[in-house]
Amino acid sequence: MLKRYFTLFLVAVLFVPIVSRAETTVAAADFIPGSRTVGLEDNYWETPMDITQTERIWAMLTAPITVVDGHQKEQTVLRKEPRADAEAVADVTYDSQGVHVLETLDNGWSLVEVYSSSFHDSKIKAWNQLTQGYIKTSALKVKKVNQKYGMVIDKLDQRLYIFVDGELYDVLSVSTGLPNERQPYNETRSGEYLIVSPVGDFVSDNVVGEYALRFNDGDFIHQVPYIARGDNKAYEPLEKVLGERASHGCIRVQRKRTPKGTNMRWIWDKLRRNMGTRIIIWEDLQGRSLGMPDAQTPLFYNTQGGKDYHAAEKCYGVRDKYLPLTPFTYGELENAPYSALNACQYCVPPRRLADIEVINQAHRAPRM
C-alpha cells in the first residue's frame, strides 16, 4: 500500500501543478459539461471542468445566461421535434435554468440542451439526463448575472468553490443528492442556474434547513440541516457526512466557519438581497478524476491531543489557547502521529490519498 502511495506522490510531484487548498482535476480539458461545442465563448457548456483555470471560470460565471422566460417555480419542456405536439423529452425550469443553444432554426424553434430538471412528480422521468430538444426561440431570454460573486459545485469532490471579483475566494464542503433505486430523482440536477429567491428556513419532517436560496424550482442551496429533538438542534448526524452525497437533491453547505469566516450563513448574508448569482453544477462524469495534492502542501495539528488535521495555522475548530497550530506536510500525513488524525470540518483540508483513490476508482472511465 505504502509503495503504491509513494508512486502516486511521484506522479503528483512530476505532473500535477501545485495548488493550495483544493484537490484539482487532472486532464480536465477533456471534459466539458455539454454534449458538444458550437463555438460559444465563455459558455458554461463549453468550458472545461477545471477549477484551476481561474480566468476562464470567472468569464463563464459572469457571462450572460440564456433561460426560458416564465415563473421561477414553474417548468416547461423540450420537444423531440420542432413542433408543439411533439413528444416532451426534458423538463426545464423557467427563469433560473440555463440552456445551451445548439442551433437556431428558421422556423421559429431552437435546438437546445439541458440536464433535465425532472423531479419526483414529473411526467418525464429523465432524472438529471443531459438531453437535447426543441423549444420556441421566442421563449428564450438572455439575462445578465451578478458580476461580483459566482459559485461552482463539483459533484466529483463534493466541494463548493466561491469566486469573488475574479478570484477563488474559498472552498466549502457540501452534500449533493444521493439517488437510490427507488428515488433516482434525488440526484442533484447538474447544469447552470441563477439564484432567484431567498427562501430562508424550511422544514421537512423533523429536519430543518436554514439560509435556503432557490436556484432550481424545488432545489435550494442551504445550510446543512439539523434534526429537531425537542429544543435541541442536532446538526452532527448530517454534518458528519458533508463531503459525501447525502441529500434529496438540495445542496447542503457547511455551517462551521472556515478560517476566512465563510460558511452558508456568509453566502446568505452576501446574496440574499442580490438575486442573479450564477451557480454551476459539474457532473461527475466517468473518466474525471481528482488530482493528488502536492506532498509539500502545508498542514497543521494541535500537539496537545488534537484529533484533526487542518489546512490553516488558525482554525475556528480549535480553541484559542492551542493556537497557532504546529505545521507538518501532506507528504507526512500517512505517518504516525498524523495517520490517526481526521480531516477538520471547519477548514476543509485536502482529503487523504486513500479517500481520493476511492473517488477516482469509482469514476474510472469505462473500458473501450
Determine the Cα–Cα distance for residues 198 and 220; give it in Å rounded to an integer.
9
DSSP 288: B
Say if residues 128 and 98 touch (Cβ distance below 8 Å). no
Does the footprint of Zn ion cover residue 351 (CB under 5 A)? no
In the window 98-137, what residues touch Zn ion (CB under 5 A)? none
Cell of residue 218, nine digits:
424545488
Cell of residue 107, nine digits:
422556423
Does the footprint of Zn ion cover residue 333 (CB under 5 A)? no
Q: Total binding residues for Zn ion by CB under 5 A?
A: 6
Does the footprint of Zn ion cover residue 315 (CB under 5 A)? yes
Does the footprint of Zn ion cover residue 67 (CB under 5 A)? no
Q: Which residue number, 293 or 317, has a Cβ lying nearer to Zn ion?
A: 317
DSSP β-ladder status, 278-282 and 149-154: parallel
Does the footprint of Zn ion cover residue 341 (CB under 5 A)? no
Q: Which residue number, 212 or 315, has a Cβ lying nearer to Zn ion?
A: 315
Q: Express the helix, strand and coil content of the chain in percent, nearest 5 each.
A: 20, 35, 50
Q: Which residue number, 49 or 347, has a Cβ lying nearer to Zn ion?
A: 347
Task: Report the nearest approach of Zn ion to the CB of residue 183 (Å).
Answer: 34
Q: Under 8 Å CB-to-CB from 54, ≥6 apart: which residues?
A: 163, 166, 167, 168
Task: Report the nearest approach of Zn ion to the CB of residue 255 (Å).
Answer: 14
CA angle 252, 191, 168 (to 5 degrees): 65
Does the footprint of Zn ion cover residue 242 (CB under 5 A)? no
Does the footprint of Zn ion cover residue 299 (CB under 5 A)? no
Distance of CA 208 to the CA centre of its chain: 21
Does the footprint of Zn ion cover residue 61 (CB under 5 A)? no
Q: Which residue number, 30 or 313, has a Cβ lying nearer to Zn ion?
A: 313
Q: Which residue number, 108 or 324, has a Cβ lying nearer to Zn ion?
A: 324
Catalog residues that contact Zn ion under the rule CB under 5 A. 310, 315, 317, 344, 346-347
